[in-house]
A and B are shown apart, each in its own frame.
Chain A
Amino acid sequence: MDVYFLGMLISMICYIILGIIVGKKLKNANDFYVADRNAPTFFIVGSIVASYIGTGSFMGDAGECYAGFLAALLVIVTMKTVGPIYGSVFFGRYLRRSESVTLPQFFGKRFNSKPVQKLSAIVAIISMSVYLLSVVQGVGTLMTIITDVPYIICITLIVITFTLLTILSGSKGVLMSDTLMFAIFSSMSLVGLGIIVNAAGGWYEAVGSLVNFERTPGVISWTNNLDYFYPTGMQNFVWAVGYGIVWGAIAMVAPWQSSRYLMAKNEHAVVRAGSLSAVGLFFVEFFVIFAAVFVNVINPNIETPSHVLVWAATNIMPTVIGVIFVTGILAAGISSSTTFLSLIGSSFSVDLLECADEKKGVRYARLCIGAVGLIVLALAITNPPSIFWIMYLGATVLASSWLLVAIASVWSKRITKTGAFWGMLLGCLGCFSAKLYSSLTGTSLPIYLDPFFFGVTLSFLGILIGSALTKVTDNELSARASLFIMPESEINIREMAITKKYGIFTIFLGLTITAALILLWAVPVAFGS
């Protein structure tokens, strides 16, 4: 048996065993849905980063950078880092105070509206299913190209693994496995980068070789490769800034990110996890995209760019490291999938069926998880693998629909249930229809007409007009007011002092990123040219 296949198979068996062990210790429905609201900071960080980073990063983003789009990805990766920082402080801790089980339930409580709860649940379930499908296809493709085992077998093994893990252990198991997988793929991204840099002759030598790289001009410069996407550096930069904002918004309010705050043991864990997740999100992706671009120095002729790190794992890294590295990519894909699936199950049971009986609710959630696993398996087998653009579609539709409503649900006194409903609906339809129009007509839309911004604009109009035509009710006013009352149990002067230090830590993170980008990218590029 192929050693890479064996490594991945063993890791999948370990995840299922973990699911069985955690599943046996589940006490009640709260344990299944929100890990008993008792998760420490480290588990929240692990789950936020592991849910965000999937095969899209290790294959899609890595491929883009190998092909000459490093600077754009660097902009997106750094800009989105602020998502969990703002998300935890301006949304996450208020979300936790609502004591909701799911985000749609939070919207339902906040606006005292079942239609808002159900609409947000439907948008979340559809977009997470699309996103789940793209992640599954990515992991299946990865496993197939490494092991030569047929795609159908790989995809079946993967779907069985994450579906069983989620059904058995719920959110508690997902948090634990996410953290374990986060530890594996983040450490391997650093080790992988070290080995690739060494093989490329050292960091500054590798950058120097790429400054005047004839095969892919602009591969490491701020302009990017001008044959790749837009024909000027400024257009590529503006596009990347736009998408940095989009992905920052996703990292701020997307359910697979902000729902983690519902599981935190207290508000301090929420804020601290936001800052620490920013560190994880930035550095893992920084390691991945630089590792990918440096492979150009060693082999500039890889036919499929998205396979660049797989090629590096199987050709540059020692076999043992290579096996753990690809297991890490697999872990990144599985960890995202378990989070999506557990959220889909929870939303189906809590928001759509509104099960009053706890045991029945968990049973329906488990049935839904199993059914979605089967549907995704069927679609993944029949559809051709595609990572980059499909991934953007699922997440951007959700961000367009939820972003403004989520922020306004906490920070606006004027938004009404009608405004929230129309804001969500128009944001979703606007983004989806613009993407559909662009795909069907083959039109390349300018950045200001990008589906996300188009959807957000319509969402804003929906909120504005819907809220202007209706009045805020007493129930909505009191629901919002309750979000601003810090629970007595959270008022602890010592804990507050420690949490405040995380804000200062985030300032240092920004300064560290500035220094890293200047010393590791701007200066060597300037001296190499």
Chain B
Amino acid sequence: MELFVSLFLGLWVTLSGIIITIKLSKDFKKESK
């Protein structure tokens, strides 16, 4: 169960990185035009 909790927590933070990377890429593409 510790392994599941570790994976859940790690993915929680990883997901935030993925979301802001997509968001920043979209925004900067639009804003630099």
Contact = CB atoms under 8 A, between A and B. Distances in A.
Interface in B13-33: 13-25, 27-28, 31-32
Interface residues of B, number: 27
A513 interface: yes
Given A74-B9, A79-B12, A526-B3, A510 B17 contact: yes
A500 B3 CA distance: 31
Contacts of B10: 78, 510-511, 513-515, 517-518
A433 B17 CA distance: 36
A506 B23 contact: no
A224 B21 CA distance: 35
Given A278-B13, A500-B21, A521 B32 contact: no
A197 B6 CA distance: 21
Interface string A510-529: 11011101100110011000
Given A222-B1, A503-B17, A493 B25 contact: no
A506 B6 CA distance: 17
A510 B15 contact: yes
A86 B14 CA distance: 12
Main secondary structure of the interface of A (DSSP, over half): helix
A294 interface: no
A284 to B, nearest CB: 15
A500 B24 contact: yes
Contact of A518 (B3, B23, B31, B32): B3
Contact of B16 (A486, A491, A510, A525): A510
B28 A496 contact: yes
Nearest to B16: A82
B6 A521 contact: yes
Contacts of B1: 221-223, 233
Nearest to A493: B32
A518 B23 CA distance: 29
Contacts of B23: 89-90, 503
